[in-house]
Amino acid sequence: MDNKITIRELLETYDSIIVNQVYTEDIVMFKLFEKDFLIIGPLKKDLSSKAQIYLYNDEGTDYPHVVLKDIDINKESMLPIGKYRGICLYEHESVIQSLFSYEEKIIDIIDRLIKLLSMTKTEQEREFQREFLYYWNSATDLQNIDIYLKQDIKFTKLEKYCRKKTTRYVESNIELTDINNCDTRGNRIWQRHIETEAFFIPIIDKREILPPYRNHSWTIENIKEIIYGKQINHISADTYFQLKNKIVSTQNIIIVFAMRELKTKVCFAVMVKCKNGKKRTLFDKIYKDGIDIVLFNVERKDYLYLNEIIGNDSIFYNKKVLLVGGGSLGSYVAPELVENGASNIVIYDEDKLEDENKMRWRFGGWSVGLNKAEILGFFLERFHPQVHVECHKNNLDEASLELELQNVDLIIFTIGNSDEQLKFNRLLNKLNCKIPVFFVWLEAGGMYSHILVVNYKKQGCFECLYTNKDGKLVNNRATLNTEIQTENNILRNGCGGTRAAYGTSILLRTVSVLLNTIQKIFLGNIKENILIDISSEMVSYPDDIIPMKGCNCCGNRK
């Protein structure tokens, strides 16, 4: 590391900076824009170390990124007695410090400080809003509440549930699978509380809404300005009229706000303390009877938010998926559906998990001897209380498929069994199925897997795979294994039972392609029915297998 130039020399290259005092080569007090700062240089031995800057003895400054808490130095030391406030000039792990030289680190942090102190009011507002939750959470008395919303764009009533020290506010129409759970003595774990009414208010225009920060704490006036802005409508007309119509009779009201910041929503909550518990409209309770507020730290725990925050596409959200088959492939597909936003799943499988299969069954360790659909349901619902799984301990039959078709948005077959799939393919064709259907299967040996996407309004179906040009039924034409490879990879148990040899890598890559394909279907990027071949080398889209004109199932479809 080049260390020829000292911090002092670097600071002196800035016209706007006056060096006050040099304590060591790496610790210097300087003046910039009439304020005193202490800079501590990066550690020379540690490439990843960064320089740090503290504001010295300045109670009034309320720029963004200046931390709220003081570090008091009240004993004689190398540094002068006084109050120091750190300045966060880097987003966490946003810059690779190791790539900067010592001088570059000093120059970079000073440039950032100058930029911070030169911010216009508009820039400051944006920075404060970006860091809204830091300031908000710093201003609360560590009172945490968990929020579960089904949507975050409309006004809604929330219900309060408590369990020991945990409090949940849940949108009225959300069914949480654990909310009715009981302890070993049969008592409900979650108690519903009706003494405090709670509401969710989405903010549609966040201009001029700044978090509470040093010398700018929130009062009831901030809440009044949000619901009844003078120049800016912070809430929609619809929300306003809901506030005007909703009658409330509790003395305290919880209000949870949400406003968009970058790609997600920032949530914060207050308890509005009112003069009394008289029955009035929610608007009047806040605007006319509200006298004080208590700030709450909010953690959004709903399924929508947890998906959004990791960048999951919204295409799966609120979609109900029928998963036919809970074998190895189904056991890998199901949790991925849940982790990608599908919270409503129906599973059919009559099989029980056996020891021989547990190494390639997603939740194998716990579940040998139990029904696969049930175990999947149990584990999936543990992902999140908004995940609902309907488990059927039987295999799907034609009558059930006809019924399910009325309620689901997507069907995925992971049964592998050709006879069953040909049967269901015919039925779906007959029923004029309007939702996308995915047939997913593996070949023995762990080399090849396939996905067939069928829209029954178009040509190309599962039976096409088993039909030759003459319209005669043949073996699956999509198969890539040779007969010998297939034969070599079939394991027999001696009682007529067979098991194909394959490990989890084929499962993982097949599920990955399946997720991408579902996404493309719902985004409208796949227009025709397609077959996908997946191997460890590549994903290919053969165009000579389907549709087959002579197919007795879809051949006549136009």
Partner 1 sequence: MKLKKEFEDFYKCIRIDSETQNLIDKREILEDEIKNKFPNIMEKHDIELNKSDIRMIDQGSYKYNTTIKSKVVDRDVAVMIPLDISKNSDPRKIKKYLKEAINIPVRSVSIKEPCVRAAYYEKEVEWLHIDLPLYAKDNGTIYLARGKENSDKYSWEEADPDGLNDDLCEKINGNNQLRRIICYIKKWKNEVYSNSNRDHEVPPSIGLTYLACDCFFKQTSEEGDDDLLALQKTMNAIKNKFFCINNIEGEITSADISRELPVPPYTDIFKKMRDSSSSYMITFYKRLSIAVNNLTNAINVESEHDAAEYVQKVLGTEFVVPEKEAVVATTQNKKEHSFG
Comparing CB distances to partner 1, the nearer of 122 and 556 is 122
Structure tokens at 212: 């509470």
- The answer to whether 19 contacts partner 1 (rule: CB under 8 A) is no
Least CB distance to partner 1 at residue 115 (A): 8
What is the spatial distance between Cα 361 and Cα 368, in angstroms, rounded to a whole number? 10
Q: How far is the CB of 390 from partner 1 (least distance, A)?
A: 36
Q: Shortest Cβ distance from residue 95 to partner 1 (Å)?
A: 6
> Binding residue for partner 1 (CB under 8 A) from 233, 314, 505, 540?
233
Q: How far is the CB of 197 from partner 1 (least distance, A)?
A: 22
The residue within the footprint of partner 1, chosen from 60, 77, 96, 492 (CB under 8 A), is 96
Q: Quick one: which of 231, 432, 482, 498 contacts partner 1 (CB under 8 A)?
A: 231
Task: Tell me how far, at minimum, the Cβ of 105 lies from partner 1, in Å.
Answer: 10
User: Among residues 42 and 446, whose Cβ is nearest to partner 1?
Assistant: 42
Nearer to partner 1, 116 or 452 (CB): 116
108: contact with partner 1 by CB under 8 A? yes
The nearer residue to partner 1, 64 or 460, going by C-beta atoms, is: 64
* b/e 384-402 (16+ beta carbons within 10 angstroms → b): bbbbbbebbbebbeeebbe
Question: Is 52 or 395 the residue whose CB approaches partner 1 more closely?
Answer: 52
Question: DSSP character for 87?
Answer: B
Cβ nearer to partner 1, comparing 34 with 93: 93
Token pair recorded at residue 228: 């009844």
What angle, rounded to 10 degrees, do the helices at 372-383 and 328-339 form?
Answer: 20
- In sequence order, the 6+-apart residues with CB closer than 8 A to the CB of 47 are 1, 97, 98
Cβ-contact 329, 507 below 8 angstroms: yes
Query: For residues 228 and 383, which CB has a smaller minimum distance to partner 1 in the complex?
Result: 228
**Pairing, β 539-540 against β 490-492:** unpaired
B/e letters for 430-442, b = 16+ CB within 10 Å, e = fewer, are: eeebebbbbbbbb
> Contact between 121 and partner 1 (CB under 8 A)?
yes
Which tokens is 471 given? 């319209």
Is residue 240 involved in binding partner 1 (CB under 8 A)? Answer: yes
Question: 81-86, long-range: CB within 8 Å, 24+ apart, which pairs?
Answer: 82/56, 82/57, 83/56, 83/57, 83/59, 84/38, 84/54, 84/55, 84/56, 85/54, 85/55, 85/58, 85/61, 86/52, 86/53, 86/54
Measured from the CB of residue 201, what is the shortest distance to partner 1 in angstroms? Answer: 13
| Cα–Cα distance for residue pair 518/409, rounded to 1 Å | 11
Token pair in block for residue 123? 């820039």
Q: Using the rule CB under 8 A, is 123 a contact of partner 1?
A: yes
Segment interacting with partner 1 (CB under 8 A) among 223-231, 383-391, 474-482, 483-491: 223-231
Burial of 88 (0-12, 13-18, 19+ CB in 10 A): middle
Among 232, 431, 435, 513, binds partner 1 (CB under 8 A): 232
Q: What angle do CA 274, 279, 284 make, to 5 degrees?
A: 55
The binder of partner 1 chosen from 4, 75, 230, 558 (CB under 8 A): 230
93 touches partner 1 by CB under 8 A: yes
- Interface residue with partner 1, options 237, 262, 484, 495 (CB under 8 A): 237
218 in contact with partner 1 (CB under 8 A): no
| Choice between 2 and 141, CB closer to partner 1 | 2
Residues of this chain that bind partner 1 (CB under 8 A): 93-96, 99-100, 108, 111, 115, 120-123, 126, 207, 228-233, 237, 240
